[in-house]
Amino acid sequence: MRPGTTARNRRQGRCMADGHGLRSRHGLSLVEVVAAAAILAMALAALGQQVFLGYKASVRSDLQAEAAARCQTAVNTLRASQYKGLPVRLRSFADDRRWLWSASLRKVDRFPGLQQLEIRVHRSGDQATSEWSLTRLVRTEPLRSAASAGGFR
């Protein structure tokens, strides 16, 4: 038995000789390990949810950007054909059959000589559905030159 240690102190785990009054501990208890693991698990779950939400937003953003580009492609296709064959109902793009587009023209009373072209693009896939529409004012009839109208000589 060490000097300064009584039977009562030994039963309670105290040792007066080390200067602290308590026996020094090495390592962690099971409760501390379980608490740390629970805190770590909650933090990882929150981070995992944020990563998943970020991934979904990224996919949605990519689909919207592609839909806008495909709308512009459809406008350019119609412009090249001088707006013949309208309205268009659910025509697919040559490079990707999952993307469908429709187009229609409407007269606009406020702007004589112009018509409203509306393009709708739709993609239905396994991850997400994307829809986009684009509206433009277009002139479907050729402009009369000033010389043919008698304005210039």
- Strands, sheet with 99-107, edge to edge from the N-terminal-most edge strand: 88-92, 99-107, 115-124, 129-138
Q: Which pair of tokens denotes residue 135?
A: 């509206």
d(C-alpha 4, C-alpha 70), whole Å: 88
How do residues 76-133 score in pLDDT, each as one tens digit?
989 888 888 889 898 999 898 889 999 999 988 888 888 999 999 998 776 667 888 9
Instruction: Note whether residue 8 is domain-resident.
Output: no
Would you say how long the chain is, in residues? 153
pLDDT at 151: 54
Instruction: Note whether residue 117 is domain-resident.
Output: yes
Instruction: Note whether residue 22 is domain-resident.
Output: no
Q: Measured between alpha carbons, how far apart are the two ends of the chain, in Å? A: 126
pLDDT at 113: 83
Number of domains in the chain: 1
Instruction: Note whether residue 126 is domain-resident.
Output: yes
Highest-scoring range by mean pLDDT, 47-51, 55-59, 131-135: 47-51
Alpha-carbon radius of gyration of the chain: 37
Are the CB atoms for 132 and 71 separated by under 8 Å?
yes
How do residues 19-50 score in pLDDT, each as one tens digit?
555 566 688 899 999 999 999 999 999 999 99
Instruction: Note whether residue 69 is domain-resident.
Output: yes
Q: Please provide residue 97's backbone torsions phi and psi, each rounded to the nearest 5 degrees.
A: -70, -15
Taking alpha carbons only, the member of 128, 126, 129, 130 closest to residue 69 is 130
Instruction: Note whether residue 82 is domain-resident.
Output: yes
Instruction: Note whether residue 152 is domain-resident.
Output: no
- Give the residue numbers spanning the domain of 128: 30-138
Instruction: Note whether residue 36 is domain-resident.
Output: yes
Cis peptide preceding 112, ω within 30 of 0:
no
pLDDT at 32: 93
Three-class DSSP category at 47: helix
122, burial (CB in 10 Å: exposed 0-12, middle 13-18, buried 19+): middle
